[in-house]
Amino acid sequence: MEFSERQARIVEIVKNSSPITGEQIAAKLDLTRATLRPDLTILTMAGVLDARPRVGYFLKEQKESSPIMEQLRLLRVGDFKSLPISVRESISIYDAIVTMFTQNVGTLTVVGENQNLKGMVSRKDLLKSALGKTDLQQVPVSIIMTRMPNIIMTTADEPILDAARKLTLHQIDSLPVVEAFIDEKGEERYEVIGRFTKTNVARIFVQIGTLGKQ
């Protein structure tokens, strides 16, 4: 399992100070217990850490993978991706806001010809524009979107665990699912074929949990 930088630090702290409570780990990292909770959950599910009530966390002597983690390693983004919600660069910020709310999504993919990925627009981007003096009906969405190469992407064959880690690490709500292709100029482009979101991740866990009760 590939750890994030913070997860690696947690493992090192537990290794040197176990048993140690979540509050004590948080204090060593100068973070809150709530901030660390997702990392501690992942490390416990992965079989790296174990936890005992009123005792704390400690390293497992045997690195046993939990059944849930074994299932997650087999799943791929392409099996769970949602349809992309895309707009063109030329539409106004106002129309982008309308699209976001009518489609009930938190992020829009901005595309060119042949669904070629151009950018991403989040709720935060639109909110910043709405709070300013921008003429929302006149300014194109291309002015505020995040452009390549600053877009975090995934592919249909990427493990969902890796894609979920990208969502957490970069603190974003959605990843465009893409297929690479070479355009007429010989340059690599990305066709948008779907989206993978935090909602997809939540649904996967619910499905796995439901199957486990049958």
Dihedral, 77, 8, 59, 73 alpha carbons, nearest 10: 10
For residue 53, count CB atoms less than 10 angstroms from its CB and return exposed for 0-12, middle for 13-18, buried for 19 or more.
exposed
Rounded mean pLDDT of the chain?
A: 87
pLDDT (tens digit, 9 = 90+) per residue, 119-147? Answer: 999 999 999 888 877 789 999 999 999 99
Half-sphere exposure of 75 (CA within 13 A, CB side): 21
pLDDT value, residue 68: 65
DSSP SS3 for 120: strand
Strand 107-111, strand 86-88: pairing: parallel
pTM of the model: 0.71
pLDDT value, residue 81: 94
Mean pLDDT of 81-109: 94
